[in-house]
């Protein structure tokens, strides 16, 4: 049984907690860096990346999350969480990003006409298509050399992995198909076994 942190600044935290609980693990809503020290893996949920970022700074969580990643503990960033894990882009004069993953992100990349939609994705390593729910989603414009592309939609990269970091442009917590959360938990499992 793993202890999974869900970054509790703003956004879709409860739905993640429910699914992780259903999969047999415990969750902690992360509001400060002391709580972060107790968990085996971290989910950065969807929401509004600028709001999450502002609250992370206010609660001294920027460096703490960067250190968490550097210690090779797994992080799963979904939607706004993907934006925050990628290389930053300037928003209103400041960079809104942890800069941890070697991906260039296009925020709100699917445009207003496609604010939210569902699509069946072919995902590397999954036999059947995955029902992905996109809400004002970003996409990945380009990836660095150690990044494995897991899925694309409309020629745009929407899921990827780089070592201990996993990102999805969609909301895996909004479907009952838990394969992405299971993939993340398997990354936590690999790390936890090594650490024992």
Does the annotation count 25 as an active-site position? no
The closest of 78, 73, 18 to 40, measured between CA atoms, is 73
Query: Per the annotation, does 71 bind a ligand?
Result: no
Q: How far is the CB of 171 from ligand GLN (least distance, A)?
A: 6
Torsion of CA 124, 182, 110, 131, to 10 degrees: 80
Question: If we measure between CA atoms, which residue out of 87, 25, 89, 30 comes closest to residue 60?
Answer: 30
Cα separation, 189 vs 75, whole angstroms: 13
User: Nearer to ligand GLN by C-beta: 41 or 138?
Assistant: 138
Q: Does 164 bind ligand GLN (CB under 6 A)?
A: no
Please tell me whether residue 135 adopts helix, strand or coil conformation: strand
Q: Is 135 annotated as a binding residue?
A: yes
Which DSSP string corresponds to 30-80?
A: E-SHHHHTT-SEEEE-SS-HHHHHHHHHHTT-HHHHHHHHHTT--EEEETH
73 near ligand GLN (CB under 6 A): no
Tell me: does residue 46 bind ligand GLN (CB under 6 A): yes
Pattern 113-142, ligand GLN, x by CB under 6 A:
----------------------xx-x----
Which span (45-53, 120-128, 159-167, 174-182) binds ligand GLN, by CB under 6 A?
Answer: 45-53
Q: Which position among 30, 107, 147, 164 is part of the footprint of ligand GLN (CB under 6 A)?
A: 107
- Write out the binding residues: 47-49, 107, 135-136
């Amino acid at each position: 049984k793993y202890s999974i942190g869900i970054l509790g600044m703003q956004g879709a935290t409860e739905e993640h907690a429910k699914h992780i609980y259903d999969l047999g693990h415990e969750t902690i809503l992360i509001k400060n860096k002391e709580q972060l020290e107790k968990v085996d893996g971290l989910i950065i949920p969807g929401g509004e990346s600028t709001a999450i970022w502002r609250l992370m700074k206010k609660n001294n969580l920027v460096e703490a999350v960067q250190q968490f990643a550097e210690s090779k503990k797994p992080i799963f960033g979904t939607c706004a969480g993907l934006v925050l894990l990628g290389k930053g882009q300037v928003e209103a004069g400041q960079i809104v990003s942890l800069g941890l993953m070697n991906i260039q992100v296009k925020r709100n990349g699917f445009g207003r006409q496609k604010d939210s939609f569902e699509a069946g994705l072919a995902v590397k390593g999954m036999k059947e298509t995955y029902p992905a729910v996109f809400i004002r989603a970003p996409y990945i414009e380009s990836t660095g050399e150690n990044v494995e592309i897991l899925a694309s939609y409309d020629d745009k990269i929407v899921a990827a992995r780089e070592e201990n970091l996993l990102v999805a442009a969609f909301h895996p917590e909004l479907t009952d198909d838990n394969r992405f959360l299971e993939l993340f938990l398997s990354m936590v499992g690999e790390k936890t076994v090594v650490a024992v």
